Amino acid sequence: MNPRLRSFLTSTFLVFSLTAILSAAPDRELKTTPLMRLETRTLVQMLEHFHYNKDGVSPTEYADIVTRYMEELDPQRLFFLQTDEQAFRRQYGPRLETDLAYLGNIDAAFDIYKVYEQRVQARISWIFEQLPGSFEFTADESYTPDRSKSPFPASAADADDLWRKRLKYEMLHDVVAKKTVDEAKTTLRKRYERMLKNMGDTETSDIQETFLTSLTRMYDPHSDYFSADTYQDFSIQMKLSLVGIGAVLGIEEDGYCIVREVVAGGPAFTSGQIKVNDKIVAVQQEGAEPIEVIGMKLRRIVDMIRGAKGTKVTLTVLPRDASDASQTKQVHIVRDVIKLNSARASATIYELPGANTGETIPVGVIALHSFYDGSPEDAAPEDVRNTASQDVAELVAKLKTEGIKALVIDLRRNGGGLLTEAVNLTGLFIKTGPVVQERDFQGQVSVDSDTDSNIAYDGPLAVLTSRFSASASEIFAGALQNYGRAVIIGDSSTHGKGTVQAVLEMKNFLPRLSQDVGNTGAAKLTVRKFYLPNGASTQKKGVTPDITLPSIDDFLPIGEGTLPRALVWDEISPSAFTGKALDQTFVQPLLEASRGRQDSLEEFVYLKKNIDWFREKQEQKTVSLNLDQRLATKQADEEFKKAMKAEAERLAQNNYVSREIKLDSVIKAEAAGLAPAPNLDEGDTDAEEDDARAKFDVHLRETLRVVGDALRLDSGSLISAETPSPVALHKG
């Protein structure tokens, strides 16, 4: 075919294709409706009256909503220009407080969105013009994939150069994965066609929600505005989070769908292949092609992942520690309801080497993945409806019968749950006393206390935590640390989620004469803050362990402190409790002994190799656009991971002898053929992604050694938990 004719036909096809996609968009009248005006004014009033940080945003800061909204629309700073940001701030910034607080006018949101839509359409048209051309991957160029902290391009020429590199970067994903350049081009074309379609599906309520959430996020990262549609779906989503794969999802600034939480006992949890902070790239139904979900609305992604019980969904996952976006894996999951027996507390006895040859010291470990109440609406008949504290009490009794000398509570994957259960669980290890203080937006403080004087276990106790230990987990660990009742061991800190949110339906706060205006949205606002018995907040700082272990988690973007505008750490007056933190004369020898092992044992050499490799990858902000360099990097990464897996398997041969201790109801269920799927994930958040079966857990092994040290150091003490003491670990 004549090259000019081919070029003409290609260009004509691109124009028709783009026009067809855009014409499919529904007719929308992008302007503030009367209901939107009411909701906007009401939301501002709710923030100023009910939010814990109600005085946290000044009138002069309202202009920042413009920038935050632009960043929500264009999280990777790819479409808007710096001149757009400057113009929008000049035009809307000075009047935005009046528009929102007094007039309820959000026309600024719609005006900015129209420009965004134009920028995207123009850029995708440009992309379609570039794709038929040739691409070379031999130049010594690089691209920065994460532009979430970068400014918008300074000029149209800068944006073109940025996109030239981005197209090469995206194409290399497939080329490095052994696809042809033509196949990579096809993938890119489908991706941007889907982006246009998604943009065409955007409704006015979506724009309203994004803009007003930009306002609520000025107060703290956990406050949101829900449109009427989102709010109606909210309770359904909460219920159906127990059906499907059992994971809580979110959208990152780069447009990726990220796993925020893996629900204990769900299919994703029992698979051992889905981790918090993994990214879901594509979703595939049985018998269908995978559909890429990058840039897709969260509601649509959730709908694709949900499905009938017993059906299979295949997720293309980018692991959280992947060094390259091409290093994805496919995870096959059968949709199901959460099996409570899988989610419940479990126990293991480990035999530590004693002082004499052949002598062992039995130490119990209870893994608790959530503070559950065991009574969801959708529980299957075979599921026992015990609470977390009841299950732990039963396991403790069994472990005591087996003659354990010490106990470890493993909370590394515990993202929280019911506060009442955190209080009840703490009560198993102290006589009575305050466990948590809560301060509301009016400054009033309430105290939740353990009032049951019975103690399930008064022996040596340690709590193992990680960056993933959040909310109720932090209350439990922090309270026991306040009472000097346990040695806390783990990552440099816990998650730092020390706030409470409430969902307030908008219609209940609208003016009385305006309450019959139709379906209204809701606001999720931060209304309270947690404090420990000693008055210290768990917000942002979390709980700092007595003994810190090296961890990859400390180099991941995990924790409250990584979130923009997170509420600050502070203190209130201590509650009246008897107890004090462990005396340093007791902790220091344990810490020094642990540091000595961290400097000498080969398993810590193995762990530090993993950490150093991961940290180096995290510090590399740019990715080469040279194919040979990318292939060499991929090969080196694969060789490193292969060597580390082999090393883990070798070290796992030194595991302590162990045996499981099961709940009576679990034993009964298993006898009836209702055994849950095995949980392959032992809890080690530093383990290789595909190495869960090796069950080589460096942090748990070191925790057991610390417990052994404490038993030897405290050989002369017989202190009871009924009289809190600087020494919590002692011979029983």
**Mean local confidence (pLDDT), 128-135:** 95
User: Pick the residue with more confidence: 669 or 151?
Assistant: 151
**What pLDDT does 486 receive?**
97
Determine the longest span between alpha carbons in the chain, in angstroms: 95
How confident is the model over 561-565, as a mean pLDDT? 93
Residue 69: the pLDDT is 97
pLDDT at residue 680 in the model:
42
The predicted pLDDT at position 384 comes to 54
Average pLDDT over residues 442-469: 96
- Are 419 and 472 a contacting pair, CB within 8 Å? yes
pTM (2 d.p.):
0.85
The whole-number pLDDT of residue 726 equals: 37
pLDDT at residue 691 in the model? 45
Determine phi and psi for 424, rounding to 5 degrees.
-65, -40
The per-residue pLDDT of the chain, averaged, comes to: 86
52: buried, middle or exposed (CB in 10 Å: 19+, 13-18, 0-12)?
buried
With both helix axes pointing from N to C terminus, report the angle between 181-200 and 3-23 in degrees, rounded to the nearest 10. Answer: 30
Residue 78 is predicted with a pLDDT of 96
Q: Is the pLDDT of residue 256 over 90?
A: no
pLDDT band at 514 (very low <50, low <70, confident <90, very high): low
Which of the two residues, 337 and 542, has the higher pLDDT score? 542
Is pLDDT at 677 greater than 60 in this prediction? no
- The 3-class SS string of 532-577 reads CCCCEECCCCCCCCCEECCCHHHHCCCCHHHCCCCCCCCECCCCCC
Of 295-299, 470-474, 551-555, least confident by mean pLDDT is: 295-299
Give the C-alpha separation, 18 to 128, whole Å.
9
Q: Could you tell me the CA-to-CA distances from 114 to 15, 28, 546, 651 in Å, in that order?
A: 21, 11, 54, 59
Structure tokens at 313: 């969904």
pLDDT at residue 428 tops 90: yes
pLDDT in tens, 90-112: 999 999 999 999 999 999 999 99
Pairwise CA distance, residues 163 & 338, whole Å: 44
CB 383 within 8 A of CB 438: no
Give the model confidence (pLDDT) of 580-615 as tens digits. 999 999 999 999 999 999 999 999 999 999 999 999
Q: DSSP string of 58-124? A: -GGGGGHHHHHHHHHHSTTS-SS-HHHHHHHHHHHGGGHHIIIIII---HHHHHHHHHHHHHHHHHH
What does the pLDDT look like over 187-208, one tens digit per residue?
A: 999 989 988 988 888 899 999 9
CATH class of 243-337: mainly beta
pLDDT at 21 over 90: no
Q: Which range is most confident: 23-37, 317-331, 589-603? A: 589-603
Q: pLDDT band for 291, please (50, 70, 90 cuts).
A: confident
Average pLDDT over residues 260-289: 82
CATH fold of the domain at 340-508+527-713: 2-enoyl-CoA Hydratase; Chain A, domain 1 (3.90.226)
Q: Look at residue 687 in the predicted model and tell me its pLDDT.
A: 53
Beta-bridge partners for 660: 348
Domain ranges of the chain: 10-219, 243-337, 340-508+527-713
| pLDDT(446) > 50 | yes
Contact indicator for 147, 184 with CB cutoff of 8 Å: no
Look at residue 512 in the predicted model and tell me its pLDDT. Answer: 72
Return the higher-pLDDT residue of 679 and 269. Answer: 269
Q: Confidence class of residue 720 from pLDDT cuts 50, 70 and 90? A: very low
pLDDT: is 335 or 74 the higher one?
Answer: 74
Tokens of 675: 């055994």
By C-alpha distance, which of 375, 574, 553 is closest to 467? 553
Percent of the chain scoring above 90 in pLDDT: 64
Burial class (CB in 10 A: 0-12, 13-18, 19+), 462: buried
- The answer, yes or no, to whether residue 296 has pLDDT greater than 90, is no
Find the angle CA(389)-CA(393)-CA(395) to the nearest 5 degrees: 120
* Banded pLDDT at 293 (limits 50, 70, 90): confident
The residue that leads in pLDDT, 80 or 669, is 80
User: What are the angstrom distances between the C-alpha of 439 and each of 451, 532, 538, 566?
Assistant: 21, 11, 12, 17
Which whole number is the average pLDDT over 360-369? 96
Residue 525 has pLDDT above 90, yes or no: yes
Q: Residue 456 — pLDDT band, cuts 50, 70, 90?
A: very high
680-700: pLDDT as tens digits:
444 555 554 444 434 799 999
376: CB partners within 8 A, 6+ apart: 242, 338, 340
| Mean pLDDT, residues 277-288 taken together | 88
The SS3 assignment for 286 reads coil
Per-residue confidence (pLDDT) for residue 695, from 0 to 100? 75
Cβ contacts of residue 196 below 8 Å, gap of 6+? 18, 21, 22, 120, 121, 124
